[in-house]
Amino acid sequence: MTEIHGSKARGVRHARELQDHLIWLDTFSGTALGVLAVASGIYTYLGVSSLLDDNGAMSVFAAVAYSVAVSVGIFVFWSYLMRLFPAVKTARARAGLLAAMGAGCLAIVAMSSWLNAAALAGSAAVEQHLAKTVQDYQASLERTHEIALSAQSLERDVARVRQSFEDLSEQEAAGTLSGLAGRGAVFRVLRQKSAELTGLETQIAGQTPLVQQAFEQGNAILSRMRALTVEPGPVEARSVEFSEAAVQLQGLLAQLRQLSVAPLVERAAQDLSASVVLPDLDGSTEEIRGNQTATIDSVLAALASRAATLEQAARAVTAMAPASEVTYTPVSSADAVILYARNFVPSWAGAIAIDLLPAVLVFIVAVTQGVIRENREGSGIEDSMSLAELRAALAALRDVEADLAKLPPTPDPAAGNEPEIPRLQDRAS
């Protein structure tokens, strides 16, 4: 029995010690909570200011009002929980308060934390958006240039077909093909197609410097856009210049796509065998004219075969996957922080922690209060009274006795005498 009583006494002393710590911590807990709420309000103000286009007095007033409301809401919310959550005892009550805490935390993140993150990493997030846009434009420019160069490479295919017709015409002039030396009907057909291919080859060659010039201009614009992503100064001003450069680059990409000669070569290949002007046969005899007809038919067959090959090469270039369309869309710092949240995890963690840190304090106080109640369980009030409380109780007892002594005695009709007023010390003993 003595051992049990000693264990209870030790528990009461432990509870008293924890209670004294809580009383001391409570002297500045409200101030600390107020500082956290004000700090969150300041960063919320910076985040709201970045969302407002107008910088007038009304916009400043609106940002201040919102940030003050956030600070007051955070302070009141956590003050309620720090007082009420440790005080409740039943599991149902604690579950209800936990649900309320969860809903409140979500509300705080929605109205404050993302704006705090925008204030902490908004400029860096916008710069990240600019850098990603530059990468997208770089890939689009390189792909468009690659397709244009592939189209320019068709010049070699055209030159090869042209050279084959020129060689055949030279053979016809020597009499090797039709057996009639000179520049007759067969020769004129071959020269006709050779001239068409020469014009196409010249047109393709004229596009080469234009393609190279457009590519160099695009790289120059991209170089300037890269510089804007890392230059010092407000990111809003740089975003305006970046947007202007993006418009120029989009126009240049459209021009570079139009410089592709693959569709032109494809149409020319289709016309190569379809549009043949057959000259009059100039053979002196029926046999010679028959040889010319047979030779022209062979030339037309070869022409159709080479035209199909050239058309197939042009279609292969046309079928190449085009560059993805890139469009620069300016974003605010708050939107950029959300868009690139995974790149700014530390900033998000700090923005949320400054709002939700009091939750840790709530649980600390709740655990401590639970330990205090557990140690005081089963002990009488006399075990938990401190020396100061005992002295205060004795002083109150003396005051009550003094007040009772001043009262007149009440006569007892049955006994015929006045009863003696009992003393409170005797009752207590």
The string of pLDDT tens digits covering residues 27-37 is: 888 888 999 99
Segment 331-349 mean pLDDT: 84
DSSP conformation letters of 303-327: HHHHHHHHHHHHHHHHTSPPPPP--
Segment 197-213 mean pLDDT: 85
Q: What's the count of helices (H) and strands (E) in the chain, helices before strands?
A: 15, 0
- How many other C-beta atoms lie within 10 A of the C-beta of residue 217? 16
Which of 171-180, 312-321, 325-334 comes out lowest in average pLDDT? 171-180
**CB burial readout 117-151, b (16+ within 10 A) else e:** bbbbbbbbbbbbbbbebbebbbebbebbbebbebb
201 pLDDT band, cuts 50/70/90, is: confident
pLDDT digits (tens, 9 = 90+) for 7-53: 555 666 666 777 777 788 888 888 889 999 999 889 888 888 877 76
Instruction: Say if residues 158 and 201 touch (Cβ distance below 8 Å).
Output: yes
Instruction: Please name which of 372, 357, 375 lies closest in space to residue 82, comparing C-alpha atoms.
Output: 357
Amino acid letter at 43? Y
Segment 322-329 mean pLDDT: 85
Check pLDDT > 90 for residue 99.
yes
428 pLDDT band, cuts 50/70/90, is: very low
87 pLDDT band, cuts 50/70/90, is: confident
429 pLDDT band, cuts 50/70/90, is: very low
CATH class entry, domain 124-332: mainly alpha
Which of 183-192, 197-206, 288-297, 301-310 comes out lowest in average pLDDT? 288-297
103 pLDDT band, cuts 50/70/90, is: very high
| pLDDT score of 224 | 92
pLDDT digits (tens, 9 = 90+) for 58-74: 778 888 899 999 999 99
Spell out the domain ranges in the chain: 2-122+344-381, 124-332, 396-428
pLDDT digits (tens, 9 = 90+) for 117-153: 888 888 888 888 999 999 999 999 999 999 888 888 8
Spatial separation of the C-alpha atoms in residues 215 and 210, rounded to whole Å: 9
